[in-house]
Amino acid sequence: MEERRWGKILIFCVVVLVFKAGLWRSRELYDQYVFGPRHSALFVFGDSLADAGNNNYLNTSIVARANFPPYGKSFFGTATGRFSDGRTVFDFLATRLEVPFPAPWFQPRVDWDISYGANFASAGSGLLNSTSQQYPNVVPFDRQVNEFTRIFYMLETESDYPAEKLLSSSIIAINIGANDIAGYFMANTSLRRNISPGEFIDSLLNDYKNHLLSLHEAGARKFVIMGISPLGCSPGMRFAGLSRWRGGCDQTVNEQFQQFNAGLKNLVLYLNKTLRVSTLIYVNTYDILMNIIHNGRFLGFSESASACCGEGPFNAAVGCGQTNLGHKRIEGSVCTDPRQYVFWDGFHPTERAQLMIADQIWGGDSSVFPFNLRTLTRVTAPPYVPSYTA
């Protein structure tokens, strides 16, 4: 009699477990039916290397825009505002994540789904507001971060996808800092008399840390933090330093970029230890692009010092598609095959070079720390729970 009673209890427990498992599986299937397969949204922040056209809508200087020919010619067939002949690193990352290219956040609102992400980047921007003030209406990094803080509530009101689940699986990709060093600090003689490069870089990294903490508080959990590229070897910097460096790389700028990158990698290590529920990866963009520059011919490039689009020494004296020599209309020439060039214009890589960088971010080994983006997508983060109300 006792054995029969325990047998009934055991059967009851098994039935309950099977029922609960069925409910869980049914819920999972229901979510996939209603919301589609689980995906990671991509939110992009930064400067001209990341801008997908935001500055088109911000009434800023033509120097901080790329919404004119021949930009975009290799892929889009028209200028989109990207500083490339086609796609950028972040477009290729979106393809790897199987989401649409993140739309420019500052464009007039049209029918685009923010549950797949957005692009907040603005050419000419920096970690410091004073860096961005060199060009009117450029969006500094702190405003880009502030715009992201609205995402949770917009997802709740404008999207059918669960906001908590989406933010915890979203990828936050950031490329920022070069303009602060090369465009602001190096050009500001009075500032350089009062503060050393090391002190300036430390202050930048402290600002960077605070912005990352703000993104974390707003729900960001997975970060791709890109180091500064070796822009001292870009055509624009080679041209600017002709008298000093004789056409070589600007070593002073590159050394400061490397100092910033070393601190940035340490910051990623620190935040991975302290935030716990968030995961950050650091991308050694400097070495990735430097390898492409130094080994260009082995990788299939015929030119790694001059730009594909421009005029003058290194095709950088006149900007790509620009007319800036008095009243005389001069447009930079365009090479026949951008795929043979590492750099598209004076400071930005071609689509092909950007694809190589994206491939390293997605599946690289030594160039990303502590692991690559493909691995990051598999990391499970706790759902975001907002600590404040709108």
Residues with catalytic function: 48, 345, 348
Beta bridge partners of 368: 283
| Tokens standing for residue 382 | 């706790």
Strands 368-369 and 303-307: unpaired
d(CA 138, CA 115): 25
Q: Which residues contact 82 (CB under 8 A, 6 or more apart)?
A: 51, 52, 53, 66, 71, 72, 76, 88, 91
DSSP string, 266-310: HHHHHHHHHHSS-EEEEE-HHHHHHHHHHTTTTTT-SEEEEESEE
Which three-class secondary structure state does DSSP give residue 342? strand
E-strand ranges in the chain read 42-46, 117-119, 171-175, 222-226, 279-283, 303-307, 309-310, 333-334, 341-343, 368-369
143 DSSP assignment: H
Name which of 353, 342, 88 is nearest 233 in CA terms: 342
DSSP string, 314-331: GG-SB-TT---BTTB---
- Is the bond into 70 cis (omega within 30 degrees of 0)? yes
Euclidean distance between the first and the last CA atom of the chain, given in angstroms as a whole number = 61
Q: Characterize 297-306 residue by residue with b for buried, 16 or more Cβ atoms within 10 angstroms of its Cβ, and e for exposed.
A: eeeebebbbb
* Number of Cβ atoms within 10 Å of the Cβ of 30: 11
How many Cα atoms sit within 13 Å of 280 on the Cβ side? 24
d(CA 373, CA 364): 8
Residue 374 CB-density burial (10 A; 0-12 exposed, 13-18 middle, 19+ buried): middle
Contact 183, 132 (CB under 8 A): no
Give backbone dihedrals phi and psi of 66, rounded to 5 degrees, phi first. -135, 45
